[in-house]
């Protein structure tokens, strides 16, 4: 890889019209290397895609939003608008495919689009990959320096339980299996595709990457409250239990796979 890798940040959006503009601007402003922001919107009824088109028109014309210029980094913002398909995991995977095959990204990152994950931390994840010669960098709320100031006691407790369960069965090299704030090298994503429907894809990705011998690093980040709009995970106990069941199943499946005779 060249000294200055081409980084693509995939932003999966559903109804994020009041968050997406500042998020894109923030990511480009903090970028340390040539950087493309690739939004994958599932035809949000609130008009998120139109906001992205406006931001893209400005960013791609001026190219002066802080990203380092380079032949591969000329397009700063791109939009994929899906109409026939919906879902978080498939949206991120679509972005990864496009980042690799259409734009030739060396590193792909992604995050929530509610400004709960600081844009300034994207280059920190990328730097960790490069400096520590890792394949996957995980933003973690549950290591020293990290925190979750976004969620209440119930959500934090359930997250703690699922992560302890995952660490027990899959290993404690990662403390935030449900992070969703990720940077990884193209080579890893050419071997491992995301599976699942919602947040369980993250457990599955981190578990399979480790089992396949890829090197993972964790960096602390502070998860802030959603800036605007509503959570797609939900906020009551029933919503968490429905999602949590899939998280437990993902951990269990990986553990059985690890134990299976080769």
Tokens of 252: 């269990």
Of the candidates 27, 36, 40, 78, which one interacts with ligand GDP according to CB under 6 A? Answer: 40
> Does 232 engage in binding with ligand GDP (CB under 6 A)?
yes
Q: Which is nearer to ligand GDP, 43 or 172 (CB)?
A: 43
Smallest separation, CB 125 to ligand GDP (Å) = 17
> Does 42 engage in binding with ligand GDP (CB under 6 A)?
yes
> Does 112 engage in binding with Mg ion (CB under 5 A)?
yes
Q: What CA–CA distance (Å, rounded) separates 124 from 261?
A: 39
Of the candidates 16, 41, 114, 204, which one interacts with Mg ion according to CB under 5 A? Answer: 114
DSSP labels for the chain?
--SS--EEEEEEESS-HHHHHHHHHHHHHH-SS-EEEEEEE---TT-HHHHHHHHHHHHHHH--SSPPP-GGGS--EEEEE-SS---HHHHHHHHHHHHHHTT--SEEEE--SSS-S-GGGHHHHHHHHHHTT-SEEEEESSSTT-EE-SS-HHHHHHHHHHHHHHHHHH-TT-S-TT---EEEEHHHHHH----SSSTHHHHHHHHHHHHTT--EEEEE-EEPPPSSS--SS-SSHHHHHHHHHHHHHHHHHHHHHHHS--
Closest-CA residue to 140 (of 154, 160, 157, 158): 160
> Does 154 engage in binding with ligand GDP (CB under 6 A)?
no
Beta strands at 182-185 and 136-140: parallel, antiparallel or unpaired: antiparallel
> Does 16 engage in binding with ligand GDP (CB under 6 A)?
yes
Round to the nearest angstrom and report the end-to-end CA distance of the chain. Answer: 33
Interface segment toward ligand GDP; rule CB under 6 A; list 6-14, 29-37, 62-70, 139-147: 6-14
Q: Which is nearer to ligand GDP, 92 or 217 (CB)?
A: 92
Interface segment toward ligand GDP; rule CB under 6 A; list 66-74, 106-114, 137-145, 187-195: 106-114
Q: Which is nearer to ligand GDP, 24 or 134 (CB)?
A: 24
Interface segment toward ligand GDP; rule CB under 6 A; list 59-67, 111-119, 158-166, 202-210: 111-119
Q: Which does 113 bind (CB under 5 to 8 A by kind): ligand GDP, Mg ion, none?
A: ligand GDP
Of the candidates 88, 96, 115, 129, which one interacts with ligand GDP according to CB under 6 A? Answer: 88
Smallest separation, CB 62 to ligand GDP (Å) = 25
Q: Which is nearer to ligand GDP, 112 or 121 (CB)?
A: 112
Smallest separation, CB 220 to Mg ion (Å) = 17
Number of residues that bind Mg ion (CB under 5 A): 3
Chain contacts with ligand GDP (rule: CB under 6 A):
12-14, 16, 40-42, 86-88, 91, 112-114, 231-233
């Amino acid at each position: 890889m060249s000294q200055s890798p081409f980084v693509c940040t995939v932003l999966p959006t559903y109804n994020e019209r009041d968050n997406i503009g500042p998020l894109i601007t923030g990511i480009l402003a903090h970028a340390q290397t040539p950087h493309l922001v690739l939004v994958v919107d599932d035809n949000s009824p609130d008009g998120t895609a139109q906001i992205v088109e406006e931001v893209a028109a400005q960013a791609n014309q001026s190219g002066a939003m802080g990203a380092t210029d380079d032949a591969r980094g000329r397009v700063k913002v791109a939009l994929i608008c899906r109409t026939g398909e919906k879902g978080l995991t498939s949206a991120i995977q679509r972005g990864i495919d496009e980042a690799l095959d259409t734009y030739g990204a060396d590193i792909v990152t992604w995050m929530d689009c509610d400004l709960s994950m600081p844009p300034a931390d994207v280059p920190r994840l990328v730097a960790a990959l490069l400096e520590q010669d890792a394949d996957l960098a995980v933003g973690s709320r549950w290591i020293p320096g990290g925190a979750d100031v976004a969620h209440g006691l119930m959500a934090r407790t359930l997250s703690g339980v699922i992560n302890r369960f995952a660490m027990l069965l899959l290993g404690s090299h990662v403390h935030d299996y449900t992070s969703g704030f990720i940077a990884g090298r193209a080579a890893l994503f050419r071997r491992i595709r995301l599976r699942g429907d919602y947040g369980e894809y993250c457990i599955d990705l981190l578990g399979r990457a480790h089992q396949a011998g890829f090197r993972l690093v964790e960096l602390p980040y502070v998860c802030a409250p959603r800036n605007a709009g509503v959570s797609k995970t939900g906020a009551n106990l029933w919503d968490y239990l429905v999602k949590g069941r899939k998280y437990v199943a993902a951990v269990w499946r990986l553990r059985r796979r690890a134990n299976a005779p080769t």
